[in-house]
């Protein structure tokens, strides 16, 4: 099984917004997922440079749901 096949559900980056990773893998006890910058920023309402937002990432790994929070610092335009 390829690691990204184990990442079965898209991640929620903002309230009710679903975004699937462009790649995901498991390394030891760590789940690593990558998203495109423009798609991730498009899920945020009016992001402003200098802001820090806390987002919740929801996932399912081997049938077990989980979530974690990430602080996202906006440093420039999304385009």
Give the pLDDT of residue 7: 36
DSSP letter assigned to residue 40: H
- 54 with 70: CB under 8 angstroms? yes
- List the pLDDT tens digit at each of the 79 positions of the chain: 233 333 333 444 445 567 788 888 888 888 888 888 888 777 787 888 888 888 888 888 788 888 888 888 888 765 5
> How far does CA 22 lie from the centroid of its chain?
10
Which sequence spans correspond to the domains of the chain?
3-73
Q: How far apart are CA 60 and CA 9, in angstroms?
A: 6
């Amino acid at each position: 099984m390829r690691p990204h096949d184990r990442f079965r559900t898209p991640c929620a980056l903002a309230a009710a917004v679903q975004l699937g990773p462009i790649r995901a893998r498991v390394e030891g006890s760590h789940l690593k997922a990558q998203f495109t910058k423009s798609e991730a920023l498009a899920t945020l309402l009016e992001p402003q440079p200098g802001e820090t937002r806390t987002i919740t990432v929801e996932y399912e790994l081997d049938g077990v749901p989980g979530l974690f929070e990430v602080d996202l610092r906006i440093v420039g335009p999304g385009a």
